[in-house]
Amino acid sequence: MKVMLGVSGGVDSSVAALLLKQQGHEVSGLFMQNWDEEDDGECRAEEDRKDALAVCGRLGIPFYSRNFAKTYWSEVFTYFLAEYKAGRTPNPDVLCNREIKFKTFLDEAKALGADKIATGHYAQVRERDGLFELVRGADAGKDQTYFLHQLGQTQLSTTLFPIGHLPKSEVRSLAAGAGFGTAAKKDSTGICFIGERDFRDFLSQYIPAKAGEIRSVDGQTVGEHAGVFYYTLGQREGLHIGGIKGRAAAPWFVVGKDIHRNILYVDQGIESQWLHSRSLRSETAHWVSGTAPAGTFRCTAKTRYRQQDVACQVQVLPDDSLEVLFDEPQRAVTPGQSLVLYENEICLGGAVIAETDAPMEIRLRQELTA
């Protein structure tokens, strides 16, 4: 087959290219630049592009480079900003996969004559009874189906995940054996367009900081925040709350954000009751197979990446949103993040979390409507 591989300049896509070549496919590599860097070059796109080019050159496969920054801005980054302005915590990597890597990139690959696309994600595709299933990567610690849950039958039927059956350690070993300079390259973390920059400084370029009160759940002012948009539920770092007379020395955690009054609410103790919820309501759900398993069903779920699966019951509502009841209370379930559902190793799909029954969230909703 003619396969267009998304090459990132990292070890994963490097080994994906190696394996595709060994399997006899006609492989090409396409480097996607999704962010136009400023002068500081924090995202190191040019360095990554050179690494990707070197791998393609070593394997003797064609190399292409495309700038998708304009599409990324309109389809991903504007959503990212809107969510933060609304007080939620978005996951742009999920949207980037859906809109850029498996839409814009897929269209470009087809225009260049590819039969299929491939990426270095730790995930697997399996066809069963005419349907394509999104299956967890063999390396549980690296599985990326959480970020891929918005893919559907069209994308999966034309996608290969060459390293999905391998542990990360073997991927690095194969890269070293092939003489790739990417063999020991550090894994990228976080959102590419932020890179190693301070997240708060980056976000303040687009959402101006507005200082306000940090209050305990009983209403006492215990500090000042730099901008309520910059914090997320469960966060401990960056609060700068010193010793307070009459309060224990236990650490403080963000438990709520009042966007309208610009107040950040905190409580002490990592297991604060104000952070726990038993149920959530989602936005419109996406199903990998195209349809929900049933109107009501049991499965497991993740409400954030790397979380252990938790058992739950899911009800599909008439507007295709979901109501989810967890068997056990969950900590810091965050509106704007993704709920991703699984049946054993199969990713069923998911949805953006709209609201939960966490005590502080209920209180703030009631105050808003009072």
SS3 296: strand
Residue 304: CB atoms within 10 A of its CB come to: 19
pLDDT at residue 302 in the model = 98
Task: With H, G, I as helix, E, B as strand and everything else as coil, classify residue 40.
Answer: coil
196/240 Cα distance (integer angstroms): 22
Least confident segment among 75-89, 133-147, 197-211: 197-211
Helix ranges (DSSP H) in the chain: 11-22, 45-59, 69-72, 78-85, 92-96, 105-111, 145-148, 153-156, 168-177, 199-204, 359-369
DSSP 255-270: EEEETTTTEEEEEEST
* Interval 34-49 mean pLDDT: 71
3-state secondary structure 329-370: EEECCCCCCEEEEEECCEEEEEEEEEEECCHHHHHHHHHHHC
Domains identified in the chain and CATH numbers: 2-177 (3.40.50.620), 209-270 (2.30.30.280), 274-369 (2.40.30.10)
Give the pLDDT confidence of 139-193 residue by residue, as tens digits.
999 999 999 999 999 999 999 999 999 999 999 999 999 999 999 998 876 666 5
Taking the chain, what is the end-to-end CA distance rounded to the nearest angstrom?
A: 62
In the annotation, is 96 catalytic? Answer: yes
Between the CA of residue 145 and those of 49, 183, 269, 302, 340, what are the distances in Å? 25, 23, 32, 11, 9
Q: How far apart are CA 246 and CA 227, in angstroms?
A: 27
Residues 6+ apart with CB under 8 A from 198: none
Query: Rounded to an integer, what distance in angstroms lies between the CA atom of residue 322 and that of residue 101?
Result: 26
Q: Going edge to edge, which strands form the sheet with 212-216? A: 221-225, 212-216, 263-268, 252-258
Q: Which two tokens stand for residue 262?
A: 């610009």
Dihedral over alpha carbons 360, 361, 362, 367 (to 10 degrees): 90
Q: Which of 56, 192, 312, 347 is the catalytic position?
A: 192
Angle of helix 168-177 relative to helix 11-22, nearest 10 degrees, comes to: 70
Reported pTM: 0.94
For the cut 70, the answer to whether the pLDDT of residue 370 exceeds it is yes
Mean pLDDT across 286-314: 97
CA distances, 277 to each of 224, 239, 355 (Å): 27, 23, 10
Question: In angstroms, rounded to a whole number, what is the distance separating the alpha carbons of residues 3 and 13?
Answer: 13
* Marked catalytic residue, from 96, 299, 312, 347: 96
Three-point CA angle 25, 30, 31, nearest 5°? 145
Annotated catalytic, 299? no
pLDDT tens per residue, range 205-247: 899 889 999 999 999 999 999 999 999 999 999 899 988 888 8
35: confidence class by pLDDT, cuts 50, 70, 90: confident
Cα–Cα distance, 230 to 218 (Å, whole number): 22
Confidence (pLDDT) at 307? 93
